[in-house]
Amino acid sequence: MKDWTGILRLEAEERNGKTVAKNVYFQGAYKVMRPVYHDQSGQACYYILNPGGGYLDGDRYQMKISLEEQARLTLTTQSATKIYKTPNQPAYQETEISLKKGSFLEYITDPLIGYKNARYLQKTVVKMEQGATFLYSDIITSGWSPEGEQFSYDRLQLINEIYMDNELVVFDHIKLNPANHHMASIGYMEGYSHLGSMMVIGEQVDTDLLDQLYHAVQEHHDGCKIGLSLLPVSGLIVRVLANSTQTIEKIHSLCHHIIRRELFHTTPSFLRKY
């Protein structure tokens, strides 16, 4: 464990219509709560805990999640991920996800907050089999700074690689570097302070679902910018630029409900955290 500040391993499988843990292991500044079953579907929900309260200089975290066939899991954080100043080495998080045929993983994270002089790199690698479904969302925002700066962090970098049957099908790279770029300019934050992303990949995703999401978010575009597009495989992505976490969370929740309804004829669980 000498190279990692925190380690989490979670393997889940389906037993008699219920998703249960096959193996759970955590060490250091990573913990996971006992599973919660919000409804009768058998889908398990795990809350990831960081007892340290935030990521500090040189912190390194590793998480590995694996779902067997037909397993259904919601994975979420207990609270926002706070990145504090990193004067010597960036904080780093590495996540590996393996999804077997027929499995479904919702990875719903709370906002990632970069405070003054924070540097952070996050790499997520997802390996899916045909027939698996993956839903992911994140929100990036600035933390408080003594001078009241909107972008006081040094660098926030998120890399997502998604493989379908060992072939790279999606490469998503977000790099926010206020020290080198004017964040209010076109192609960056364009006058907004918060960036939200939601991605879903699965055989059932098609242009009809994209059209439903497009029409649904039209009523919520005031004060923000929303973009939707299909991915090279059966999947789509939603991007939101806004000035508050609540605005993005409202749009994500709307899209989440439509996706769950159309793909699984269910509704998302309320992930109460306070």
Q: Is 43 left (phi over 0), alpha (psi -120 to 50) or beta?
A: beta
Using alpha carbons, list the distances in angstroms from residue 36 to 11, 13, 31, 53, 83: 16, 15, 15, 22, 28
Q: Which among 231, 208, 222, 211 has a CA at the least distance from the CA of 251? A: 222
Asked if residues 6 and 30 have their Cβ atoms less than 8 Å apart, the reply is yes
> Among positive and negative, which fits the CA dihedral 93, 77, 269, 66?
positive
pLDDT in tens, the chain (274 residues): 468 999 999 999 999 999 999 999 999 999 999 999 988 899 999 999 988 779 999 999 999 999 999 999 999 999 999 999 999 999 999 999 999 999 999 999 999 999 999 999 999 999 999 999 999 999 999 987 777 778 899 999 999 999 999 999 999 999 999 978 888 787 788 999 999 999 999 999 999 999 999 999 988 778 899 999 999 999 999 999 999 999 999 999 999 999 999 999 888 877 765 5
Q: Is 216 helix (H, G, I), strand (E, B) or coil?
A: helix
CA distance 32 to 69: 22
What pTM, to 2 d.p., does this model score? 0.94
Number of H helices, E strands in the chain: 2, 17
Q: Is 23 exposed, middle or buried (0-12, 13-18, 19+ CB in 10 A)?
A: exposed
> Among positive and negative, which fits the CA dihedral 74, 75, 78, 81?
negative
